[in-house]
Amino acid sequence: MSHNAESTAFRSALEVIRAVEPRVADAIGAELADQRESLKLIASENYASPATLLAMGNWFSDKYAEGTVGRRFYAGCQNVDTVEALAAEHARELFGAAHAYAQPHSGIDANLVAFWAILADRVESPALKRAQVRQVNDLTEADWFALRRELGDQRMLGMSLDAGGHLTHGFRPNISGKMFDQRSYGTDPATGLIDYDRVAEAAREFKPLILVAGYSAYPRKVNFRIMREIADSVGATFMVDMAHFAGLVAGKVFTGDFDPVPHAHIVTTTTHKSLRGPRGGMVLCGPELADQVDRGCPMVLGGPLPHVMAAKAVALAEARRPDFADYARRIVDNAQALADGLLRRGATLVTGGTDNHLVLIDVSGYGLTGRQAEQALLDSGIVTNRNAVPQDPNGAWYTSGIRIGTPALTTRGLGAAEMDATAELIHTVLTQTTAGSGPDGAPSKAKYVLDPAVAEQVGKQAADLLTPFPLYPEVDLT
């Protein structure tokens, strides 16, 4: 039994939980065991440090703190002010931003804060003029409904879902698609790459209020200088959602034209994924939007989560250390090694490779849908997620792709040799899996056939691959 601080802290926490609801304690322990034994290749997942995890389990969880630093709607928030100010300070220094807002509970919340901040700042509406106010949250109910009708004509131009964009960039099932008249820009059908001339043409034709850049499944860099020039040419506000690659920006892997912060009017991000913090969101902006952004609560957000802001402050402090830059570089090195290993084994990759943390495999060449491939890999101890590819014939549910990423395995210490071995395991599963049939004998997009012996063998190989790279080695729950 280990007696270090981390082991003592987590063992003690589980003992306290077990005394009240043992099934929750068991599920927490089981989750750690599952994560230790699986090849985690979900591009949006990572492993937060023990310090970050522990920062979330404390008395800050008990505190209401609507408002922002120094301007709360509740008394007794002096300690919340401290951790929120620290999170914002670390974010400003880490990303070189003029202003940081650390309250959003998620990436979607961060985007909603950004959208409404832009609308409140940019829209010249009769409703606002009649009310003689500049803030949306100052409107009367009658003025609000008048304004909402007018905002229905506002336009957003963002990356299409099948090209790698995100639901929150204006797609109809999401609230962003109901707030805005939305149009998408895609990628070149031949290369899978963004065609900036076509984006500029779409912007000139559509004249959006907001031009959104950023992605959840695009395996290349984006030139944010060019995108800002396009936004400026049509008078649009340029917003970047860097949730997926924030760690690569923080680690100075993406610099110059590929760092969104100097080029965008406003930047949103999550604090987990490649940034390796707690699950949450954040907004970065210049002084011209700072006042509007700081009204995220109560304009869009519910009560801030002070315990999560404390964890954000810890994770952002960690990201400012020199070793984080090395970690960010290794994320990309590993992704490229994984892509090379797959290509050498005959896999088809969207854009033919990667510049960032993720790889998108078109599994139609294996005769599978993304859903079939995802489940067959999971049966074999490899955790991925299905994802649409450009012009995907199977749509967003079944898909034709598998998205894989390297932030989590890089945190565990795996390198290029292990990425090549991982490519071999993925290729083995996909080549040994066949599409199944439905009850009527028709081809199924969900059912598949994989010899359980193959799945068991690959799972054992995956576990063996991970053995030299223990997850949370400082945490012993026995």
CA distance linking residue 341 with residue 465, whole number of Å: 16
Q: What Cα–Cα distance (Å) separates residue 418 from each residue in 39, 40, 330, 355, 403? A: 11, 13, 13, 19, 18
Which residues are marked as active site?
64, 66, 241, 270, 273, 279
C-beta neighbour count of 247 within 10 angstroms: 27
Task: Give me the residue label for tokens 């490899």.
Answer: 382
Sort 357 into a burial class: Cβ within 10 Å, 0-12 / 13-18 / 19+: buried
CA distance linking residue 278 with residue 47, whole number of Å: 9
The answer to whether 291 touches 117, Cβ cutoff 8 Å, is: no
Task: Give me the residue label for tokens 């790459």.
Answer: 193
Residue type, 6: E
CA distance linking residue 449 with residue 437, whole number of Å: 9
Q: Which residues pair with 211 in a beta bridge?
A: 157, 238
CA distance linking residue 25 with residue 43, whole number of Å: 27
Q: DSSP letters of 8-54?
A: HHHHHHHHHHHHH-HHHHHHHHHHHHHHHHSEE--TT-----HHHHH
CA distance linking residue 82 with residue 88, whole number of Å: 10
Q: Which residues pair with 267 in a beta bridge?
A: 240, 284
CA distance linking residue 458 with residue 474, whole number of Å: 27
Q: DSSP letters of 402-451?
A: EEEE-HHHHHHT--HHHHHHHHHHHHHHHHH-EEEE-TTS-EEEEEEE--
Sort 390 into a burial class: Cβ within 10 Å, 0-12 / 13-18 / 19+: buried
| Chain centre to alpha carbon of residue 80 | 25
**From its phi and psi, is residue 268 left (phi > 0), alpha (psi between -120 and 50) or beta?**
beta
Q: For residue 36, what are its two tokens?
A: 């230790």
